Amino acid sequence: MHTRRTFLTSTVAAAVAAALVGCGRSADDNGRTSTPSTTGAAEPAATDKRRIGRSDIAISPLVLGGNVFGWTADRERSFEILDRFVEAGFETIDTADVYSRWVPGNRGGESETIIGEWMRSRGNRDRIILITKGGGEMEDYKGLSAATLQRAVDASLQRLQTDYIDIYFSHFPDPQTPHEETLAAYQKLIEAGKIRIIGASNFTADQVRQALDVAATNGLPRYEILQPRYNLYDRGDFEGPLRDLAIAEELGVITYSSLASGFLTGKYRSEADLSQSQRGGSVARYLNERGMRILDALDDVARRHNAAPADVALAWIIVREGVTAPIASATSVEQLDTLVRAPALAKALTKEDLEQLDQASAV
Ligand SMILES: NC(=O)c1ccc[n+]([C@@H]2O[C@H](COP(=O)([O-])OP(=O)(O)OC[C@H]3O[C@@H](n4cnc5c(N)ncnc54)[C@H](OP(=O)(O)O)[C@@H]3O)[C@@H](O)[C@H]2O)c1
């Protein structure tokens, strides 16, 4: 076990700014940071960090999705992917207690267990920003009550072989539990050093607004980051009131299904292609005229930049207003090698590229 860390709870913006001054980086209005190049050569994209909300945590603009670990990637393959991700200079990994409970024979916790074993074997816990979630349906608990969260966080810590989680998400809203109870439970967990900051996934703008109000009124920790579904095809969950709120309240945003479960890589163009992956079934809904228009635009932009459609799809998210980083998963090192190019590509996308992608994905 690593020694539990003491975390800053105030003046975080100043602390981050000071740290950035020390390493020659600057932060823009969105808390985005960049390292000026003195050589004119492209900087490794992963060195650009974006601050999460008002917290003292800054992450690279690509997060590795962990729902494949113990599902479409076995332990050995998962270790290879995780190794490659950190070798490329990235640090943030997203998982959840329920990953990958849906696989026959699994109970949930398989992804956390693999990540825990990997961090232990590599001795790198202090170099990883670790995200997990609770509140989904486990064998004998679910929801966001105080008792459940206490239990869920302890179980995640055990599987992850660590004594702190950097970002803990409420995986789904829980209408049965008042925000006061959930946030007070999080306050205790933060005070105990078990979690650093909290986030909300799959919440509507109204639900986030209510939780922020309860936090402010009662002096409780606020959700500092959101995790909505967002990609070139599925824009409605985030664009609109949720994005407006995130910007107004300076919340971090990491997006899931950023590749539309693999559709935006361009490898599914017909019903016959769906059998390529165990996930093919969930991609069928994208095989329509609008989906094909989006793939055509991705192909065009990718050709102009000598890139792959998947990089373009992620780069488009990276430059979207209000977004901190896309989350994406990979089931092989080869796939990941493509995805890690997205942050650099994001800097090269032109106004015309973005207009073409926007037009193609218009509903
Ligand atoms: N908060 C939530 O409720 C929630 C919900 C869903 C996901 N998430 C998070 O978001 C992460 C990613 O979302 P997602 O699972 O929907 O997947 P996604 O990132 O939209 O799609 C990833 C899948 O696309 C395929 N792929 C990736 N790169 C590729 C490449 N270069 N070439 C060809 N195929 C490629 C891989 O699947 P195959 O190889 O099997 O085709 C990979 O697993 C998850 O791991 C999880 O951490 C959160």
Asked if residue 156 is part of any domain, the answer here is: yes
Ligand 1 atom index nearest CA of 328? 19
- Contact 279 CB / ligand 1 (< 6 Å): yes
Percent of the chain residues past pLDDT 70, beyond the cut: 87
- Return the residue whose CA atom lies nearest to atom 42 of ligand 1: 330
Task: Ligand 1 pocket test: pick from 201, 256, 263 the residue with the most ligand atoms within 8 Å of its Cβ.
Answer: 256
Q: Encode pLDDT of 113-132 as tens digits.
A: 999 999 999 999 999 999 99
- Note down the domain range covering 82: 56-361
Give the helix/strand (H/E) hosting 354: helix 351-361
- Contact 258 CB / ligand 1 (< 6 Å): yes
Asked if residue 42 is part of any domain, the answer here is: no
Question: Catalytic annotation on 141?
Answer: no
101-105, 272-276, 289-293: least confident range: 272-276
Q: How far is the CA of 68 from the centre of ligand 1 (A)?
A: 7
What pLDDT is recorded for position 288? 97
Residue 129, both tokens: 């920003």
Q: Pick from 246, 232, 258, 203: which is nearest to 30 by CA?
A: 246
- Return the residue whose CA atom lies nearest to atom 25 of ligand 1: 262
Task: CATH number of the domain at 349, please.
Answer: 3.20.20.100
Residues 6+ apart with CB under 8 A from 267: 273, 276
- Return the residue whose CA atom lies nearest to atom 46 of ligand 1: 65
Asked if residue 325 is part of any domain, the answer here is: yes
Residue 303, both tokens: 């050709």
| Alpha carbon of residue 168 to chain centroid | 12
Q: How far is the CA of 13 from the centre of ligand 1 (A)?
A: 32
From residue 4, give the alpha-carbon distance in Å to each of 8, 34, 96, 211: 13, 30, 21, 28
- Contact 132 CB / ligand 1 (< 6 Å): no
Cis amide linkage into residue 78, ω under 30° from 0: no
- Contact 345 CB / ligand 1 (< 6 Å): no
Asked if residue 19 is part of any domain, the answer here is: no
Asked if residue 345 is part of any domain, the answer here is: yes
Q: How far is the CA of 279 from the centre of ligand 1 (A)?
A: 9
What pLDDT is recorded for position 331? 97
Please state, as a whole number, how many other Cβ atoms lie within 10 Å of the Cβ of residue 4: 12
CA dihedral sign, ordered 99, 137, 190, 214: positive
What pLDDT is recorded for position 95? 98
What pLDDT is recorded for position 76? 98
Q: Give the number of C-alpha atoms closer than 13 A to the C-alpha of residue 198, restricted to the C-beta side.
A: 30
> Residue type at 120?
R
Number of domains in the chain: 1
Strands 63-65 and 92-94 turn out to be: parallel
Residues 6+ apart with CB under 8 A from 304: 353
| Alpha carbon of residue 182 to chain centroid | 22
Q: Encode pLDDT of 22-69 as tens digits.
A: 232 333 333 444 433 333 333 445 668 999 999 999 999 999 999 999
Q: Encode pLDDT of 261-277 as tens digits.
A: 999 999 999 999 999 88
Report the C-alpha gap between 347 and 177 in whole angstroms: 43
DSSP bridge partners of 119? none
- Contact 112 CB / ligand 1 (< 6 Å): no
Asked if residue 48 is part of any domain, the answer here is: no
Segment 269-286 mean pLDDT: 91
Instruction: Kindly tell me if the per-residue pLDDT of 18 is higher than 90.
Output: no
Q: How far is the CA of 258 from the centre of ligand 1 (A)?
A: 7
Q: Which residue has better confidence, 16 or 294? A: 294
pTM for the complete prediction? 0.90
Q: Which residue has better confidence, 278 or 193? A: 193
Confidence of residue 2 (pLDDT cuts 50, 70, 90): very low
Virtual torsion, Cα 157, 161, 167, 171, nearest 10 deg:
-50
Helix axes 75-87, 110-122, angle to 10 degrees: 60
Report the C-alpha gap between 115 and 121 in whole angstroms: 10
Asked if residue 21 is part of any domain, the answer here is: no
- Return the residue whose CA atom lies nearest to atom 13 of ligand 1: 257
Percent of the chain residues past pLDDT 90, beyond the cut: 84
Q: Encode pLDDT of 160-202 as tens digits.
A: 999 999 999 999 999 999 999 999 999 999 999 999 999 999 9
Mean pLDDT of the chain: 89
| Alpha carbon of residue 1 to chain centroid | 25
Q: How far is the CA of 330 from the centre of ligand 1 (A)?
A: 6
Q: Pick from 346, 348, 273, 274: which is nearest to 310 by CA?
A: 346
Asked if residue 10 is part of any domain, the answer here is: no
Segment 328-356 mean pLDDT: 98
Q: Phi and psi at residue 198, in whole multiples of 5°?
A: -120, 155
Instruction: Kindly tell me if the per-residue pLDDT of 141 is higher than 70.
Output: yes
Catalytic residue among 99, 230, 256, 286: 99
- Return the residue whose CA atom lies nearest to atom 47 of ligand 1: 65
> Residue type at 363?
V
What pLDDT is recorded for position 35? 35
